[in-house]
Amino acid sequence: MKILNHTLGFPRIGVNRELKKAQEKYWSGNLSKQDLSSVGYELRKKNWQKQKESGIDYIPVGDFAWYDHVLTTSMMLGNIPERHNNIISSVDLDCLFRIARGHAPDIAASEMTKWFNTNYHYIVPEFYKDKVFKFSWKQILDEVDEALSLGYKVKPILLGPITYLWLGKVKGKYFDRLDILKDIIPIYKYVLKELSKRGIDFVQIDEPVLVLELPKKWQDAYYDVYKELFGITKLLLTTYFDSIEHNIEFIRDLPVQGIHIDLVFGKYNLNNFISKIPSEWMLSLGVINGRNIWRADLVKWFKSIKLILKNHRKILIGSSCSLLHTPVDLETEQNLDAEAKKWFSFSVQKCIELKLLSNALNNDDIDLITQWSLPIKDRSFSKRVHKIAVENRLSNIVIDKYQRLNSYNIRTIEQNKKFNLPILPTTTIGSFPQTIDIRKLRRDFKSGIINKEEYSKGIKNHIQKVIRIQEELDIDVLVHGEPERNDMVEYFGENLEGFVFTDNGWVQSYGSRCVKPPIIIGDISRPKPITIEWSKYAQSLTKKPVKGMLTGPVTILFWSFPREDVSLKKMATQIALALHDEVLDLEKEKIEIIQIDEPALREGLPLRKSSWAEYLSWAVNVFRLSASGVKNTTQIHTHMCYCEFNDIMDAIALLDADVITIETARSDMELLESFKNFKYPNEVGPGVYDIHSSNIPSVKSIMMLLNRAIKYIPLKRIWINPDCGLKTRNWNETILALKNMVEATKTLRKEIKNSHLK
């Protein structure tokens, strides 16, 4: 039987971020809906063509999304929160964007959180009792028709119904989410029937929650659901990000025609696994890493798959997960040095890898792939990879390096005396609007159009503006605004040894937000100070404290493309040592409030709880290592956003940051339940407005959130801040929102003072 190949999805943003640019033009009123739709159509066409030309047999359809694929599923099911409906309750593209971004005057967007353990985000489905579901969004059918009309062998993709329910949240009156299945299964059946009419070979139905340790009732729901869906069209039950071997006893009995497993991130005893699945099932093997950019060792995979073929003949090979987590095309990189470029593989190249591997297997000829795999083997001898000085420093870490000199209870007394801040101190998370002028300044310096002196003068002018505006707004603890930083991770990577960078290595984080992760290629160290110049200058402009702003070791690690030849723990510890040096240098320069952001702490958590303890142990330790050795009076902040804290409150407390700032506005302060129930011991800054929405929060809405916050956290331990950094907002929005934030805070202070006087 001939072995065919497929991808589980392709990047939707375009090689030049065409989707992002079109979305933002549409949102600003500078592009029509028809023109936006045309951009989407052209992108889909190009993506299908690129995959076909690269040798992909089954072309995925349904991987394109106007914001994220979970929200697309909500639209398909007609699951529109009432507040986002328009007058006639029509389900259209504007409705989708209202859910994702909120809308005026003060309608909150739906909550956003991380897609499993990735830096991709999705809009959380909201479930209300007695909600009526109906097929409301034809995107999947329309796009299948587009691809079929162009002559492609199409493989539609649907997010599975149980995963969809697992990812959502019950709002209002509580009920069991699984009760919704009876309402949405008819819609899935209708879609599958329509796909069957179009002569589809099989449908990729994504059920990644099967890698989790599911409660028994959720396991039981699978059989009932797939019994209902069975027989309409062939289903490839698709899993990724980890192994499903622990769930195979109930998965093996599901009425489907095939299973996809992730062999990159999942640990399998393949002989045992294959012996337990039906022999007639198609077994799709995810062998090309959909989450990293390293060239695959195709020879290794050739040998593994040849062994599998002895026990199971119906084989399909594919990417481990959707390729949306990797950049589009390595060939667009003109400035990567030749040695490093040979080590990498972006989405287009991963398609080529699948074709090379399937050809080698079908022809039983390893020579076709030996040459491709050579650079990976040669890399182990590169002098850029291993550094003796870094290894020596790692081996000399002592246990005292993982803790502050004294406990928070002692530190907070000394910090209060030093800073003398008012009750409910106000601050921001770090970044201020990244204007066209700022981006041009960085670009001109990088390309040599301006010199170091001109660049430094320009950056200082922007810092002056940010400090002046914050003082005028009467914010208590200031930031320098980060005009020198293109990205919170890329900037640090550029100033550390062990990283390389791309010009076009963009991946989608959410909606129109794209990031360009650095690539860790070798041992990491700090050759010179990184942030000192700008932080020191900002502090010289004001008598108020200015925070030093650092990205934490876990976040730098997980928001980069990591090495695959050493452990995550080892890389994170190397980064922590580099940041430790930076923290001590900031303190020497009288920067005595230092924020070390760790938004990726929860993201890095293994998907199965049985593996959490080991990860959290080293993740906490590397944060503490980066912040260790400072005085009691030096206040350490950290920031986290858009993740579920409930499961890891013990670990968050163990970070021992003096202040943690978090996202709470989009989730309506729900996250503070975690801090109340756990009785978090240190200080908390609950975000009081959603910076990912263009809505300007009113004083009234901020007051409502603050009044909720003081029910959860003691007054003396609350800080007031936005949900996240402000780099994506414009100056008008930023100033108006911060003005309202400060006004609301001062009003609450007066109310508290008056109530005490009474």
Active site positions, annotated: 692
Amino acid identity of residue 294, one-letter, is W
- Report how far residue 322's alpha carbon sits from residue 344's, in angstroms, rounded to the nearest whole number: 17
Cβ atoms of residues 298 and 356 within 8 Å: yes
Cis before 714 (ω within 30) = no
- Report how far residue 604's alpha carbon sits from residue 608's, in angstroms, rounded to the nearest whole number: 12
**φ, ψ dihedrals at 721, nearest 5°:** -160, 165
Q: What's the DSSP call for residue 72?
A: H
Q: What is the dihedral of CA 693, 698, 700, 702, to 10 degrees?
A: 50
The alpha carbon of 562 is separated from its chain's Cα centroid by a whole number of angstroms, namely 15
Tokens encoding 335: 């400035």
Amino acid identity of residue 204, one-letter, is Q
CA distances from 396 to 315, 345, 573, 581 (A): 49, 36, 12, 15
Residue with tokens 């099989």: 202
Nearest residue to 354 (alpha-carbon basis) of 285, 277, 255, 268: 285
Tokens encoding 300: 């290794």
β-bridge mates for residue 288, sequence order: 319
The secondary structure element, H or E, covering residue 236 is strand 235-238
- Report how far residue 357's alpha carbon sits from residue 366's, in angstroms, rounded to the nearest whole number: 9
Q: What's the DSSP call for residue 492?
A: H
- Report how far residue 318's alpha carbon sits from residue 297's, in angstroms, rounded to the nearest whole number: 14
- Report how far residue 421's alpha carbon sits from residue 592's, in angstroms, rounded to the nearest whole number: 14
Listed in sequence order, the residues at least 6 apart from 709 whose beta carbon sits closer than 8 Å to its beta carbon are 664, 669, 672, 686, 688, 718
Q: What is the β-pairing status of strands 235-238 and 593-597? A: unpaired
Sign of CA dihedral 220, 224, 225, 230: positive
Sign of CA dihedral 593, 596, 597, 602: negative
H, E, C per residue of 2-49: CCEEECCCCCCCCCCCHHHHHHHHHHCCCCCHHHHHHHHHHHHHHHHH
Amino acid identity of residue 723, one-letter, is D
**DSSP reduced 3-state for 230:** coil
Long-range contact pairs involving 489-494 (C-beta distance under 8 Å, separation at least 24): 489/515, 489/517, 489/518, 489/551, 489/555, 489/556, 489/559, 489/560, 490/515, 490/516, 490/517, 490/518, 491/530, 491/551, 492/530, 492/550, 492/551, 492/556, 493/518, 493/520, 493/556, 493/560, 494/518
- Report how far residue 29's alpha carbon sits from residue 19's, in angstroms, rounded to the nearest whole number: 15
**Angle ∠(342,306,52) on CA atoms, nearest 5:** 55
